[in-house]
Structure 1
Amino acid sequence: MGSFSLFTIIIIAANALISYKGFNDYNFFERYKFNIGSIRRGEQIRVFSSGFLHADSQHLLFNMITLYFFADRVIYELGEINFLIVYIGGLVMGSLLSFYFHKNEYQYSAVGASGAVMGVIYSAILIDPMMQINFIIPGFVFGIGYLLYSIYGMKKRVGNIGHDAHFGGAVGGYLITLILKPSLFETELLMVGLLGIPIVVLFILHKIGKV
């Protein structure tokens, strides 16, 4: 894993340029970050623009390095245009799930490409469930475990982390990949089912009022 396609370069460059603009321009950062009150007043651009802003250089670097290591697997299987669809879909789904869970918290704000990156990660894992994470953990185990932890994080408000955006991004990557590569229902049906378990768990917990 880990190579640069033109689309990966464009995405990383866009994140770097917009994030550094935000680091040095408080008004720009405030204008385009994810904020429930502003979105409810009609500033829907924040659903998208917030995915290119980061809290600091470490936040930016972590997300872009992670993207670098998973992007090529998705590009190889789905192509560059579809990779872009997965990335943007994960970004938007992450923001929408955050909006859904925080819709009455008018001061709630967030930034970062984590939803988009999680969409790419979950897409890569769905395509290659046995890929090694940190050279040890099978991809499908990491994917299921991470989303179950995200549910716990959403429920307990663990850390200053947008667990709902991570979860929404993964859901976006999961669904879009299945739409773009329906043959996975034949070649990886068991893994499609296993990787869908956390999504079902979240739905059930939300229906019974536990999340």
Structure 2
Amino acid sequence: MDNLNPVTIIIIAANVIISYRGFGDFSFFEKYKFNIGGIQRGEKIRMFSSGFLHADTQHLLFNMLSLYFFADVVINILNPLQFIIIYVGSLILGNLLSYYFHKNEYSYSAVGASGAVSGIIYSAILLQPGMKLMFFFIPIAIPAYLFGIGYLLYSIYGMKNKIGNIGHDAHFGGAVGGYLITLFLAPWLFQTNILMIGLLALPIVLLFVLKKMGKI
């Protein structure tokens, strides 16, 4: 991890330490996970702390690997402070969207850095849309912007059909956070990447249209 920025190392370390504390301490895990009932009782810290807890080692590893691959794109084009702003803002916005969709489900709970990591991924795609991504199940490299659009469309599908034990709404909200905060921090993108800004906005608009129509 010598080539990683110290900020990325600190965030990964915080996730590992806090997640492993949660693995071995049920009361700690329950106190700081995202939970609608707890938040409605005034425990707002859960909106932040839940982003550093994970369900198991596999969940933690997947999120930290995803962060590892995309963090430097954002840090190198912007700067470490702006990276932190995007990470934390995406975490919070992901949980806010999750709260919005589940506010009447008192027992709904979730954990994970997925919202924050989704924000970093979407920020990296916005900053460098032409980069190519490879996946184990796809034999060819695909443009990052196609992955970003597909990722959010799948998140909408997952939200609509409640697929798996996955917080699709937090993923989506985090990606929206990464999109909006990056545009705020890097307004020059409106001169250089206006087409990509429009393309990457399409799934976001679609979600809110579907929500307004009562389809989600």
What is the TM-score with the length of structure 2 in the denominator? 0.96
Select 1:194's aligned residue among 195, 199, 204.
199
Q: CA deviation at 1:130?
A: 1.1
CA contact (8 A) 1:3 1:68 kept: no
For residues 78 and 3 of structure 1, what CA distance do their matches in structure 2 show?
17
Stretches of 4+ aligned residues off by more than 4 angstroms? none
1:172 is matched with which residue: 177, 192, 202? 177
The whole-number CA distance in structure 2 between the counterparts of 1:137 and 1:105 is 38
* Of 2-11 and 103-112, the range deviating more from structure 2: 2-11
Measured in 2, the distance between the counterparts of 1:65 and 1:4 equals 12
For 1:115 and 1:85, how far apart are their aligned partners in 2? 13
- Return the alpha-carbon distance in structure 2 between the equivalents of residues 183 and 176 of structure 1: 13
Give the distance between the partners of 1:210 and 1:191, measured in 2 at CA. 27
Report how far residue 137 of structure 1 moved: 1.0
Which residue identity does 2:66 align to in structure 1?
T
- Alpha-carbon separation, structure 2, partners of 1:41 and 1:156: 29
Aligned position for 1:92: 92
Partner of 2:142: 137
- 1:3 shift after superposition: 4.0
RMSD over aligned CA atoms reads 1.0
C-alpha distance in 2 between matches for 1:85 and 1:131: 23
CA distance in 1, matches of 2:10, 2:145: 28
Q: In structure 2, what residue type is equivalent to 1:98?
A: S
Aligned residue-pair number: 210
User: Distance between the aligned counterparts of 2:57 and 2:150, measured in 1?
Assistant: 27
Superimposed CA distance per residue, residues 113-133 of structure 1 (whole angstroms, 9 cap, x where no aligned partner): 000000000000000111111
- Please give the alpha-carbon distance, in whole angstroms, between the structure 2 residues aligned to 1:116 and 1:3: 21
Correspondences of 1:127-166 after superposition (within 5 Å):
127-134=127-134, 136-166=141-171
Q: What per-residue deviation string (whole Å, max 9, x for no partner) do you get for residues 51-98 of structure 1?
A: 000000111011001100000000001100000001001100110000
Which residue of 2 is the match for residue 43 of structure 1?
A: 43
Residue 77, structure 1, aligned to residue 82, structure 2: no
Structure 2: distance between partners of 1:137 and 1:161? 24
Question: What's the offset of the Cα at 1:165?
Answer: 0.3
Structure 2 letter corresponding to 1:138: P
Query: Residue 62 of structure 2 aligns with which residue?
Result: 62
What SS is found at the alignment partner of 1:137? strand
**CA positional deviation for 1:13:** 0.5
Secondary structure, aligned partner of 1:136: strand
- State percent identity of aligned pairs: 69
Q: Secondary structure at the match of 2:72?
A: helix
| Cα displacement (A) at 1:14 | 0.3
Amino acid at match of 2:185: L
Partners of 2:164 and 2:24 lie apart in 1 by: 26
One-letter code of the match for 1:81? L
SS of match in other structure, 1:126: helix
Aligned in 2, Cα 1:209/1:3: closer, same or farther, shift over 3 Å? farther
Contact 1:115 1:165 in 2 (8 A): yes
**CA-to-aligned-CA distance 1:116-154 (integer Å, 9 cap, x gap):** 000000000000111111161100000001101100100
1:21 alignment counterpart: 21
